[in-house]
Amino acid sequence: MLSLGPRVEVVLATEPVDLRRGHDGLVTLVRSLWQADPYSGTLFVFLGRRMDRVKVLFFSSGGFVVHYKRLEHGRFVLPRVPAGAARVELDGASLAMLLGGIDLRAVRRLPRWAPPQNLGRKGIDISLGA
C-alpha cells in the first residue's frame, strides 16, 4: 500500500502501456511522452492493456521505485479523460481510490475550500488598495 501526502503530484497515462517495461523503460516514457522530470517526486501511473494491472513509478531516496498491482477480478476504471489528453493529473486520494478499485467517474466530491484572499489573521482586509 502507498501512503501519500496531500500535496503529492500524480500523473496518470490515459493510454495503455506495455507493462513488461521495467524502471528504465517507464522512465523513458515519462521523458518522451510528457517531457517530465522523473526525479521530481511525482508519481507516474501506467495501466496495462487489459486494465487489470497498474504500475506506479516514482523516485525516492536515491533510486526509482515501481509499485505494481494486479487485480484478481475486475478492471481499473480511468477517471473522466478530456478528449485528446495524453495524461490526467490526480491527487493522492484519487490514486488511492483507483488502486482500491473504485470507479472515479462515479465519485462525487464536495467543492474544495480555499481561504479568502488578502485577509489578515482576524479576517481584516489587509490589501493595499489605491
What string of DSSP letters covers the chain?
A: -----TT--EEEESS---TT--HHHHHHHHHHHH---TTSS-EEEEE-TTSSEEEEEEEETTEEEEEEEE-SSS--------TT-SEEEE-HHHHHHHHTT--GGG---PPPP-PPTTB-TTS-B-----
- Block mean pLDDT (10 aa), the chain, length 130: 78 95 96 94 96 96 94 90 91 90 84 77 55
79 close to 5: Cβ distance less than 8 angstroms = no
- The contacts of residue 107 (CB under 8 Å, 6+ apart) are 97
pLDDT given for residue 122 in this prediction: 59
24 close to 118: Cβ distance less than 8 angstroms = no
68 close to 53: Cβ distance less than 8 angstroms = yes
pLDDT given for residue 107 in this prediction: 84
| Domain boundaries of the chain, sorted by first residue | 10-106
Indicate the residue type of 55.
Answer: K
- B/e letters for 31-61, b = 16+ CB within 10 Å, e = fewer, are eeeeebebeeebbbbbbbeeeebbbbbbbee
| φ, ψ at 65 (rounded to 5°) | -120, 135
